[in-house]
Amino acid sequence: MSVESVDPDDVDAADILGSAIERREDPALLTGDAEYTDDIQLPGMTHMAVKRSQHAHAKIEGVDTSAAEAMDDVIAVFTAEDVDVPGNLPVGWLLDSLRQVDHPMLAGERVRYQGDATAIVIAEERYAAHDAVDAIDVEYDRLDAATSPNEALNGAPDLHEDAPGNTAFEWEIGDAERTAEAFEEASHTASVDLENQLLIPNAMEPRGAVADYNPSTEELEVAMTTQNPHLHRLLMSGVIDHPEHKLQIRAPDVGGGFGSKIHHYADEALAAWAAKQVERPVKWIATRSETYLTDAQGRGHESHGEIAMDDDGNIVGLQVETEANLGAYLSTFAPAVPTYLYGTLLSGQYDIPAIHCEVTGAFTNVPPVDAYRGAGRPEASYLVERLIHLGAKEMEMDPVEFRRQNFVPDDAFPYQTQVAVVYDSGEYEKTLDRALEMVDYDSFRERQERAREEGKYLGIGFSAYIEACGLAPSELAGQLGAQAGLWESSLVRFHPSGTVTAFCGTSGHGQGHDTTYAQIVANELGIDYEDVDVVEGDTDEIPHGMGTYGSRSAAVGGSSLVKSSQKVVEKAKSIAAHQLEATEDDIEFENGEFHISGAPDRSLHIKEVAQQAYLAHDMPAETEPGLEATSFYDPDNFVFPFGMHAAVVEVNPDTGEIEFEQYVAVDDVGNQINPKIVEGQIHGGVAQGIGQALYEAAEYDENGQLLTGSMQDYAVPKAEHIPEMETDSTVTPSPHNPLGVKGVGEAGTIAAPQAVVNAVVDALEPFDVDHIDMPLKDEKVWRAMRENGGGA
């Protein structure tokens, strides 16, 4: 079932869309020619290092920089007192009840998490900058710290004056009254208390920035690790008070992001600001320990969920209370993640007539928490699928039949959920059936029974996940509190010789956009794939853009490229009609060729039209020379990929160790532009989901000190930890965009955790284990088996 990749030379131009061609970005990455931020060297370049708090919560009594300033090779040291610009990091998503708090790029009075920045050093070289940082002496008066939302909301010292009780917001969705009634009338209920632990994204490339200021022109160029250059330009221009049109943000090659490079952090702003102060280029590159302390973390939910059923096993209600960890300050999109990206997905793949969810956002002494791969949707899917597992158990039904019975039926789309969103299209039973076939479910229960008799504990876990991608339209996002539009912009430009450059406002960082976008544009224009070049990630080159996150690039960016291409074809058609002396209505466009209907020999290729458009010797009246078009594409609605993942595991009763027998992923991401890339995204996503299920967690001690602050302590899964995955897909095109695509980047990460946890809990059925919080470390599993009386 694994997709074979193909050489683009072996693909007919007409078949380029949907073809699993090899990626064109690979040669540079395979030879060392790629340029990541830390590869950039500029003449006169200086190095910045950041002094970070070792305490999670403390008053700053004084900062003594004299020793650092006196050191060789130190150019400047700056503290909060030196900051003469607003220096306050903004939040990009406002909720009605949100309490906004200050987030200074350098802390002056108080530090609120371990890693909070108090000073920066600019030095001639990297080692000297780090030496000088060590020589800065900060005097603190320590305060108590709280790292869990529950602690923070229940009596911990306030982090911010403007947020009493550490409450950032209280938010709800759904119908409380109807849900309460449903629970009263229900004949069965099941419930769970669970934690969706804090995760550290761990992109392999640490964050960094190289800023270069030209005092004569006042132009400031910042090359940085970003997923969304234009948004960073907008936010940074306010933070450091630099005019947006004289600020260039460029993403060189970016070594993974997974959300962590969406957000606007203090460090990149400090590098840009410092470059203006010292009037020399400034490079800042995080060390891995800095990324552990400061990269925005993901998840961090403590939830209580309940599900209600009638006698026949129909789900009649779902209610949820969640306390969400926001960390010490509000990061860029933080308020949206545990609310609109979470509460709206609580219907899962199910037809649930009454849902209610309340979320309280809490300030705690950990780094800001924001979007990490999936962002809100994994938390929702995990909770729903754990409840479904428990609901089936309560009903004494097979979990597969329980799901099937409660799925949104195929003929119910578009489907309005009770939590605001309208699902576009779906055939949920198809992915379920395919997954059942792949795991041979028919024989599994028997096999499981036999194994148990031999003292072996096999389990199967399902995950019928749903995801919302390509958030849109902008008007709706605005109503919900977004401080940005969620359209995407592109420019498709023919050159006089007939080749094309396509510019897009998304900004890929491993997803293979250069390849897939070229496939889209070549297909629309009917020209060779090799004739299309793709440019992303530079605010000076690309008219505008919103960036790459939330699996929006294909659905929104790709659709924008379709629109721009179509505008180009339209203009080319009128030029062709004019030159062929026909009316536009008589012109047909096929495989790059304009010809007169019924007279196929009278034709002009779009490349020839491009040449004519630049010659401009013979154009229709009122037509401008040149051949290019821009579009700002704002989709009508989200897209909703879905699928069924299933894990088959064996749990060792003596050690609690979990071994995979099989991992199956059947995903429906709509039409696929490049199936090989789709498959790769699923693999990577599943690995991160398995990481969360079994290994990963940001852990803190009672003082708020990070216990998992290195790769030694935080278990990023290795090759031996990830099983061979069997993937397959179904295709239900989305009606919400011209490509019929849905989105794939986050699917695996959303799907995997509950497949694994459900499998382990299924294996431990004889021990009467209902739930174990992730990560399912051996010892935890072993204890869970023992706690319920030794079982079997």
Helix ranges, 17-117 (H): 26-31, 66-69
Decide which of other proteins, ligand FES, none touches 470; Cβ closer than 5 to 8 Å per partner kind.
none
Q: What is the DSSP letter of 11?
A: S
The interface mask with other proteins, positions 89-128, x = CB under 8 A, is: -------------------------------------xx-
Position 254 contacts other proteins (CB under 8 A)? yes
103 or 250, CB closer to other proteins?
250
Position 5 contacts other proteins (CB under 8 A)? yes
Q: What is the DSSP letter of 767?
A: G
Give the span between the Cα atoms of 698 and 368, in whole angstroms.
13
Decide which of other proteins, ligand FES, none touches 526; Cβ closer than 5 to 8 Å per partner kind.
none
**What's the min distance (Å) between Cβ of 32 and other proteins?**
2
Q: How many residues bind other proteins (CB under 8 A)?
A: 60
Please choose, from the candidates 551, 773, 762, 563, the residue with its C-alpha nearest in 3D space to the C-alpha of residue 677: 551
The interface mask with other proteins, positions 682-701, x = CB under 8 A, is: -xxxxxx-------------
SS3 assignment, position 192: strand
**What's the min distance (Å) between Cβ of 274 and ligand FES?**
26
Contacts of 28 (CB under 8 A, 6+ apart): 34, 253
H or E element in which residue 300 lies: strand 298-309
Position 9 contacts other proteins (CB under 8 A)? no
Position 511 contacts other proteins (CB under 8 A)? yes
For the sheet with 725-729, list strands across it. 457-466, 642-651, 658-668, 725-729
**What's the min distance (Å) between Cβ of 205 and other proteins?**
5
Question: Which tokens belong to 597?
Answer: 């209907």
Give the span between the Cα atoms of 214 and 78, in whole angstroms.
20
Position 725 contacts other proteins (CB under 8 A)? yes
Q: Which of 679, 696, 728, 746 binds other proteins (CB under 8 A)?
A: 679
SS3 assignment, position 651: strand
Give the span between the Cα atoms of 766 and 288, in whole angstroms.
43
Please choose, from the candidates 318, 336, 410, 405, the residue with its C-alpha nearest in 3D space to the C-alpha of residue 377: 336
Please choose, from the candidates 691, 779, 681, the residue with its C-alpha nearest in 3D space to the C-alpha of residue 298: 691
The one segment of 26-34, 48-56, 391-399, 497-505 that binds other proteins by CB under 8 A: 26-34
The one segment of 213-221, 268-276, 328-336, 722-730 that binds other proteins by CB under 8 A: 722-730
Query: Are 248 and 220 in contact, with CB atoms under 8 Å apart?
Result: yes
Q: Which of 1, 15, 26, 591 binds other proteins (CB under 8 A)?
A: 26
How far are the Cα atoms of 488, 491, 546 from residue 542, in angstroms, in the given order? 11, 8, 11
38 or 531, CB closer to ligand FES?
38
The one segment of 347-355, 521-529, 680-688, 780-788 that binds other proteins by CB under 8 A: 680-688
Please choose, from the candidates 435, 320, 445, 324, the residue with its C-alpha nearest in 3D space to the C-alpha of residue 387: 320
Which residues sit at the interface with ligand FES, rule CB under 6 A? Answer: 204, 256, 510
Residues 192-231 that bind other proteins (CB under 8 A): 202-206
SS3 assignment, position 608: helix
27 or 243, CB closer to ligand FES?
27
Position 724 contacts other proteins (CB under 8 A)? yes
**What's the min distance (Å) between Cβ of 647 and ligand FES?**
23
Q: Which of 9, 10, 12, 31 binds other proteins (CB under 8 A)?
A: 31
How far are the Cα atoms of 55, 61, 113, 702, 768 from residue 142, in angstroms, in the given order? 7, 10, 12, 13, 45
Q: Which of 9, 10, 12, 41 binds other proteins (CB under 8 A)?
A: 41
Distance of CA 395 to the CA centre of its chain: 36
How far are the Cα atoms of 171, 381, 404, 506 from residue 643, in angstroms, in the given order? 29, 11, 13, 25
**What's the min distance (Å) between Cβ of 691 and ligand FES?**
13
Position 479 contacts other proteins (CB under 8 A)? no
Decide which of ligand FES, other proteins, none touches 246; Cβ closer than 5 to 8 Å per partner kind.
none
Position 729 contacts other proteins (CB under 8 A)? no
293 or 769, CB closer to other proteins?
293
Decide which of other proteins, ligand FES, none touches 712; Cβ closer than 5 to 8 Å per partner kind.
other proteins
Which single residue is written with the structure tokens 């030159």? 579
Q: Which of 161, 720, 789, 790 binds other proteins (CB under 8 A)?
A: 720
Question: Which tokens belong to 718?
Answer: 């290795």
The interface mask with other proteins, positions 748-787, x = CB under 8 A, is: x---------------------------------------
Question: Which tokens belong to 733?
Answer: 């095109």
412 or 711, CB closer to ligand FES?
711
Query: Are 88 and 269 in contact, with CB atoms under 8 Å apart?
Result: no
Cβ atoms < 10 Å from Cβ of 178: 15
Decide which of other proteins, ligand FES, none touches 361; Cβ closer than 5 to 8 Å per partner kind.
none
Cis peptide, bond prior to residue 335, ω within 30 of zero: no
122 or 690, CB closer to ligand FES?
690
**Amino acid, res. 526:** G
**Amino acid, res. 170:** E
Question: Which tokens belong to 569?
Answer: 């074809």
**What's the min distance (Å) between Cβ of 710 and other proteins?**
6
**What's the min distance (Å) between Cβ of 232 and other proteins?**
18
Question: Which tokens belong to 422?
Answer: 């309208």
Position 11 contacts other proteins (CB under 8 A)? no
Length of the chain, in residues:
792
Give the span between the Cα atoms of 312 and 382, in whole angstroms.
24
Position 71 contacts other proteins (CB under 8 A)? no
SS3 assignment, position 649: strand
41 or 443, CB closer to other proteins?
41
The one segment of 268-276, 411-419, 597-605, 716-724 that binds other proteins by CB under 8 A: 716-724
Angle, vertex CA 330, rays to CA 324 and CA 333, nearest 5: 85
H or E element in which residue 48 lies: strand 46-52
Decide which of other proteins, ligand FES, none touches 327; Cβ closer than 5 to 8 Å per partner kind.
none
Q: Which of 18, 108, 165, 256 binds other proteins (CB under 8 A)?
A: 256
**What's the min distance (Å) between Cβ of 25 and ligand FES?**
11
Letter string b/e over residues 482-494, b meaning 16 or more CB atoms within 10 A of that residue's CB: bbbbbbbbbbbbb
**What's the min distance (Å) between Cβ of 131 and ligand FES?**
20
The DSSP annotation for 416-462 comes to E-TTS-EE----HHHHHHHHHHHHTHHHHHHHHHHHHHTT-EEEEEE
33 or 570, CB closer to other proteins?
33
Q: Which residue is nearest to ligand FES, using beta carbons?
A: 204
**Amino acid, res. 519:** Q
Give me the phi and psi of 265, to 5 degrees please: -105, 165
Q: Is 300 left (phi over 0), alpha (psi -120 to 50) or beta?
A: left
**What's the min distance (Å) between Cβ of 137 and ligand FES?**
30
Decide which of ligand FES, other proteins, none touches 217; Cβ closer than 5 to 8 Å per partner kind.
none
Q: Which of 14, 15, 39, 584 binds other proteins (CB under 8 A)?
A: 39
**What's the min distance (Å) between Cβ of 745 and ligand FES?**
13
**What's the min distance (Å) between Cβ of 204 and ligand FES?**
4
Position 740 contacts other proteins (CB under 8 A)? no
Decide which of other proteins, ligand FES, none touches 621; Cβ closer than 5 to 8 Å per partner kind.
none
Query: Are 741 and 562 in contact, with CB atoms under 8 Å apart?
Result: no
Interface with other proteins by CB under 8 A: which residues? 2, 5, 22-23, 25-36, 38-39, 41, 126-127, 202-206, 253-256, 258, 285, 287-288, 509-512, 676-677, 679-681, 683-688, 710-712, 716, 718-720, 722, 724-725, 748
